Copies of this chain bind each other. A is one copy, B any other.
Amino acid sequence: MEIIRPHTLSGFMELLPDRQAAFDDMLERLRRTYALYGFTALDTPVIESSDVLLAKGGGETEKQVYRFTKGDSDLSLRFDLTVPLAKYVALHYSELSFPFRRFQTGKVYRGERAQRGRFREFYQCDIDVIGDGALDIINEAEIPSVIYKAFTSLGLERFVIRVNNRKILTGFYSMLGLADKSGDIMRTVDKLDKIGPEKVRAILTDDYGIPGDTAGDILAFIAIKGTNDQVISALESYRGRDGLFDTGLDELKTVVRYLGDFGVPEDHSAVDLTIARGLDYYTGTVYETTMLDHPEVGSICSGGRYDDLAGYYTDRKLPGVGISIGLTRLFFVLEDCGMLNPELPTAPADVLIIPMTDDRGPATKLATSCREAGIRTQIYTENKKFKARLTYANRLGIPYVLLLGEDEIAKNMVSCKDMESGTQELMTTGDLIAHVLSGIEKKRAAAPIKE
């Protein structure tokens, strides 16, 4: 038979079992967190009709889309989870209750140029709250709390959720008579961290023809820093000059006001006037999340408030607020930073039963009892030397090996070998089950991220 060289496409993450277990653990924690906030799980097709998926058309994204025909159909693979959500809500509008709170975790596809840390197939973990015509500001205040819970559930502690409001920015540029240039300005300001204030000033004056003192006003504005209360009180000094600005400031105050009640500690949030996000999409609160020790990674969870989710599919106004975590990239980055917890249990089984008699009956019955108690159990019956069997348990990280020989069977007992300590104890099945359950409960307390 001709042998084909097995390979996996570049840009497609494929993990070995132990790393896969760590990845799945993270995914499961995010799903549990999202569910805790009353979001319903959704699953939409990976393939959609191209006219639906590319309704918005144009832009960088469209070039990256995996698009093809099958029979007469022009098909595309989803490149995010937001467009499918818009389609879903427009299509099933009359069957849904609003606010519609959904989470979705799934793979999306972008044919980006292959490079380190860039993925063509990757998981997004999204939540969105969609209103029917209107959506209360409390939904925007709640989002940082979901972000906080999501990352702490993964074991991450040193991060900050940056919050801003697009109405404040748009209103501020309006005050300066620069409403028509606000997009260009925000794009420039967004580079502040990378290029510094002097280069920002140069671009504003030279490229966009903004007078020097106005550029100074902009730089002074985005330089506003401090505690959330300090920033808000600095913003208050601009009040009364633009209606949209004032609305944005009120919204920001509401969001900040409820952070503590929603369980977000003060040192985990920061009003940051430099962030803007997706320029032609977000209209209110915007979020970014950065790791304190790894600012170079950029935002690990972003999103914001938008006014019109599904304008391409329906005349109904469906405002919403949402965030997205790119889990595949996050996993890659965490591993790269050495932040994956080596203590996380990733073994496929809690116990490995090694029968030492030809009759597999006692081992099989023991396996059945362990499984009924919720213990993940494997029986090892391959024709290998005893040492090779223990090596198997060790390589997989299985914490307990159960030995069942003539002696044990005669006494109606089991020998339980703790693979970490190396100690071996003879016990009854009942004691064994209690012993293993308490041992694995301790191990399971470990979180996937360790700082």
User: Quick check: A36 and B376 within 8 Å, CB to CB?
Assistant: yes
* Stretch from A2-10, A167-175, A199-207, A435-443 that touches the partner: A2-10
User: Quick check: B313 and A4 within 8 Å, CB to CB?
Assistant: yes
Given A138-B360, A263-B368, is A99 in contact with B382 using a C-beta cutoff of 8 Å? Answer: yes
Measured CB to CB, the closest approach of chain B to A108, in angstroms, equals 11
A374 interface neighbour in B36, B121, B138, Cβ under 8 Å: B36
Measured CB to CB, the closest approach of chain B to A153, in angstroms, equals 11
List residues of chain B with CB within 8 A of the CB of A68. Answer: 66, 68-69
Which chain B residue lies CB-closest to A64? Answer: B70
Please measure, in the bound complex, the distance between the C-alpha atom of A321 and the C-alpha atom of B42, giving whole angstroms: 33
User: Quick check: B134 and A14 within 8 Å, CB to CB?
Assistant: no
Size band of the A side of the interface? 35 or more
A312: interface (CB < 8 Å): yes
* Stretch from A48-56, A274-282, A291-299 that touches the partner: A48-56
A356: interface (CB < 8 Å): no
A87 interface neighbour in B2, B6, B48, B138, Cβ under 8 Å: B6
Please measure, in the bound complex, the distance between the C-alpha atom of A161 and the C-alpha atom of B315, giving whole angstroms: 53
List residues of chain B with CB within 8 A of the CB of A24. Answer: 41, 43
The digit string for A31-43, where 1 denotes a CB below 8 A from any CB of B, is: 0000111111111
A17: interface (CB < 8 Å): yes
Please measure, in the bound complex, the distance between the C-alpha atom of A210 and the C-alpha atom of B381, giving whole angstroms: 43
User: Quick check: A42 and B70 within 8 Å, CB to CB?
Assistant: no
* Stretch from A89-97, A235-243, A408-416, A420-428 that touches the partner: A89-97
A9 interface neighbour in B40, B48, B96, Cβ under 8 Å: B48
Given A1-B311, A21-B41, is A49 in contact with B348 using a C-beta cutoff of 8 Å? Answer: no
A8 interface neighbour in B38, B40, B45, Cβ under 8 Å: B45
Which chain B residue lies CB-closest to A360? Answer: B138
A4 interface neighbour in B4, B37, B55, B263, Cβ under 8 Å: B55
Please measure, in the bound complex, the distance between the C-alpha atom of A37 and the C-alpha atom of B3, giving whole angstroms: 33
List residues of chain B with CB within 8 A of the CB of A361. Answer: 258, 261
A194: interface (CB < 8 Å): no
Given A37-B377, A40-B20, is A9 in contact with B45 using a C-beta cutoff of 8 Å? Answer: yes
Given A4-B313, A7-B49, A313-B5, is A348 in contact with B261 using a C-beta cutoff of 8 Å? Answer: no
Q: 14 other contacts beyond A2-B312, A9-B47, A37-B378, with CB at 8 A cut-off? A: A3-B313, A7-B91, A9-B45, A16-B95, A35-B376, A36-B376, A38-B348, A66-B68, A68-B69, A97-B396, A99-B382, A138-B360, A149-B371, A263-B372
Can you report 5 residue pairs joining A to B where beta carbons are below 8 Å apart?
A13-B45, A17-B41, A23-B43, A47-B120, A98-B382
